[in-house]
Structure 1
Amino acid sequence: MKQKKLDTINSSGFKVPKDYFSQVEEQILSEVHLKNKVQVSGFHVPDSYFESLEEHIFEKLETKNEAKVIKLFSWKKAIYASAIAATIVLMFNLFSTSETITFESIEIATIENYLEDEGFTSNDFASLLTDEELNKDNFIENQIPEYLIKDYLMNTIELEDLILE
């Protein structure tokens, strides 16, 4: 096979039929017209249907009977049920405990933990006592053993603070 130089080729090798470009426009327009034609769906709307549609709808709305509404949840029943449940729980708590709790039966550590957790301060306790109870003579008459004072100082006050004072 002979190889030709590309710059010497004058024709592209493609051929167009005669009068092709003059008929192309007509063929495209005829295709578009065929696609734009409305196809018959088989459904038929009665004459003046849309003019009288609104009147028919309003007539049906006016003549429609109101249905009775039945509530699914009744507040009266819920109140009765909660009152019965509260009564049963209260009766169970009152009659099931046979031992009585006294101030002496509570451990001192429990009371101390409660007071620490609640954040009571010495001012809160002082507000509960009267002037007679806070009298100096009451503290003089009550002797606190020396070992209790030593234990208190060792557990609550830092040793460095005592040395500095």
Structure 2
Amino acid sequence: MNNFKLDTNEKITSGFKIPEDYFETFSEKVLHQLPSEEPKVISFYAKYSRIFYAAAAIIVLALSIPIANQLQNNSDEMASNEIENYLTQHTSISDDDIVNLLDTEDIENIKIENKIENEALEEVLLNNSQIEDYITN
């Protein structure tokens, strides 16, 4: 094997050379290559404004439906209470007049079907000591 001495042999060059004033002019070259016009900027709100309006409309609608429904129910209850108060306060209307005004469907809705077994009825009658009060009232 041959002895190799660093001081006596020629040095090998890498083959890469940096041009003169490369680092001093590099930033100027990069800035020169950048586009001179500013790009058009579209704001996020402008791009999705329709979606924002649609979401706002859905939220308003979702919040207003229960309120409108409750107002409608309250007005129905008030109307039925007013009719009931009118009928109770005006005693000149007899029961026969009210029955004549009712339809057959209304009369069928009024019918109450009590399906009480005889054993349950007997048990209540035997265990209740105030049965006479219920019978007389």
TM-score, normalisation: structure 1: 0.28
Larger radius of gyration: 1
